[in-house]
């Protein structure tokens, strides 16, 4: 087990390292990269001297732009290790790390809660569908799941906002915007929790509607596959109670393929937050990413992208370790041959 653990951790570290290097390449090395563009723009549009422009770039990106590239790369890695992600170009003096500290929790909160609701809901309903296959409840749930899965989450968001908010005024879209009402301060108070949930309700509803159907269908087909396995028939023949078979024999094995999907879903939902938070104007990290790209605030874009990636890598690592514990058939301690 220890071997497996270190191997997975090493892999996660490698992933982060490669993504970090790729980002450096994208921001610094590629022809027409943002830093060169920035310096060029400062000189041609705002009339700074080349040295002044370099000085500014140094401030925003925390890099010595005229140093050799290897030095810059080392600087870049050192900065990241210290959590220094440079400064926002559009709001000078604001470190990127403080933006992340401010906005990331909201995304983790809304996305995390939505993922949990959706996963539990989908697994429960999926097993129900498999056990009651060909019944009316299976047919109804299949149609609902198929339709909701087919609709991209941002279109669900748009439809919720347009149909419930703008066209019928069932939801007051002016008051639900943002992640907290004015005057409410974060803290362990009931007012804060209720207000946070109120503002996150539409994004969470959107995430859940968009993903629960997928879990339902996967769990149904996975359960159906498991129900046909010999060990389930054997457990029945041994006279084990149905509830024990459902949980320990069918459920546990049927869940397995879904776990690999969970790692994908985490990335997908976190990644989709750029779209959903844009629609509901929810003040999370996805909205910051969107704004930084549109406004060409590259230090922010780079930092937010790295943070999103690192959170997904860590979530994946967690799911990997869980998967290793869950599947008795995959021998994880085996040395590579």
Partner 1 sequence: MNWTTLKRNPGGALGLAGFLAIVLLVIVGPLVVPLDTSTRLDQIYAAPSRAHPFGTDNQGRDVFSQIVHGGKDLLWVATLAAGISTSIAVALGSISAVAGGHVDNALMTVTDVVLTVPHFPLLAVLAGVLQFRSQTLLAIILGVLSWPALTRAVRAQVLSLKERDFVEAATALGLGRGHIIVREILPNMRSYVAISFVLAMTQAIYAQVGLVFLGLVPLSGQNWGVMIQYGWTRGAIFHKSSVYSILAPIMAIVLLKLSLVSMARIFDEIFNPRLQEG
Question: Considering only residues 64, 260, 322, 325, which one is a binding residue for partner 1 as defined by CB under 8 A?
Answer: 260
In the stretch 205-244, what mask flags binding to partner 1 with x, by CB under 8 A? ----------------------------------------
Q: How far apart are CA 33 and CA 299, in angstroms?
A: 12
Q: Do 132 and 140 touch, CB atoms closer than 8 A?
A: no
Question: Considering only residues 39, 111, 128, 161, which one is a binding residue for partner 1 as defined by CB under 8 A?
Answer: 161
Q: DSSP H helical segments within the chain, as ranges?
A: 2-24, 34-44, 50-61, 69-81, 96-131, 136-150, 153-159, 173-176, 190-227, 230-237, 242-244, 252-280, 285-294, 298-326
The CA-based angle 137-154-274, given to 5 degrees, is 130
Query: Which residues, in sequence order, are bridge partners of residue 95?
Result: 87
Question: Considering only residues 155, 171, 201, 318, which one is a binding residue for partner 1 as defined by CB under 8 A?
Answer: 155
The smaller minimum CB distance to partner 1, of residues 65 and 164, is found at 164
Question: Considering only residues 48, 109, 154, 198, which one is a binding residue for partner 1 as defined by CB under 8 A?
Answer: 154
Question: Considering only residues 4, 5, 29, 33, which one is a binding residue for partner 1 as defined by CB under 8 A?
Answer: 33
Question: Considering only residues 9, 13, 30, 197, which one is a binding residue for partner 1 as defined by CB under 8 A?
Answer: 30
In the stretch 100-139, what mask flags binding to partner 1 with x, by CB under 8 A? ----------------------------------------
The smaller minimum CB distance to partner 1, of residues 123 and 272, is found at 272
Q: Do 219 and 258 touch, CB atoms closer than 8 A?
A: yes
Task: For the chain, give the longest Cα–Cα distance.
Answer: 85
Burial of 109 (0-12, 13-18, 19+ CB in 10 A): middle
Question: Considering only residues 3, 6, 98, 146, which one is a binding residue for partner 1 as defined by CB under 8 A?
Answer: 146
Please identify, among the stretches 12-20, 41-49, 70-78, 199-207, the one whose residues bind partner 1 according to the rule CB under 8 A. Answer: 12-20
């Amino acid at each position: 087990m220890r071997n497996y653990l270190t191997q997975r951790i090493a892999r996660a570290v490698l992933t982060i390292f490669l993504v970090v290097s790729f980002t450096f390449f994208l921001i610094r090395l590629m022809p027409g990269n943002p830093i060169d563009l920035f310096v060029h723009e400062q000189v041609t549009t705002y009339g700074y001297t080349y040295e002044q422009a370099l000085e500014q770039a140094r401030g925003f990106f925390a890099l010595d732009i005229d140093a050799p590239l290897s030095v810059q790369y080392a600087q870049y890695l050192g900065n990241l290790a210290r959590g220094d992600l440079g400064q926002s170009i559009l709001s000078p003096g604001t470190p990127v790390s403080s933006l992340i500290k401010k906005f990331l929790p909201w995304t983790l909160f809304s996305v995390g809660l939505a993922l949990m609701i959706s996963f539990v809901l989908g697994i429960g309903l999926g097993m129900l569908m498999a056990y009651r296959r060909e019944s009316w409840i299976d047919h109804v749930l299949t149609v609902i799941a198929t339709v909701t899965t087919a609709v991209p989450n941002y279109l669900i968001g748009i439809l919720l906002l347009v149909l419930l908010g703008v066209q019928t005024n069932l939801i007051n879209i002016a008051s639900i915007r943002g992640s907290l009402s004015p005057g409410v301060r974060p803290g362990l108070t009931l007012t804060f929790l209720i207000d946070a949930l109120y503002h996150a309700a539409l994004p969470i509803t959107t995430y859940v509607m968009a993903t629960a159907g997928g879990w339902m269908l996967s769990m149904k087909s996975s359960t159906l596959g498991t129900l046909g396995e010999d060990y389930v028939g054997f457990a029945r023949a041994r006279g084990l109670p149905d509830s024990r078979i459902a949980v320990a024999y069918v459920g546990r094995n049927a869940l397995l393929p879904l776990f690999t999907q969970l790692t994908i879903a985490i990335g997908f939902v976190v990644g989709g937050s750029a779209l959903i938070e844009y629609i509901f104007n929810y003040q999370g990290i996805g909205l910051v990413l969107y704004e930084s790209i549109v406004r060409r605030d590259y230090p922010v874009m780079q930092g937010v992208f790295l943070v999103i990636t690192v959170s997904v890598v860590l979530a994946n690592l967690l799911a990997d370790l869980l998967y290793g514990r869950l599947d008795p058939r995959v021998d994880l301690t085996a040395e590579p041959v």
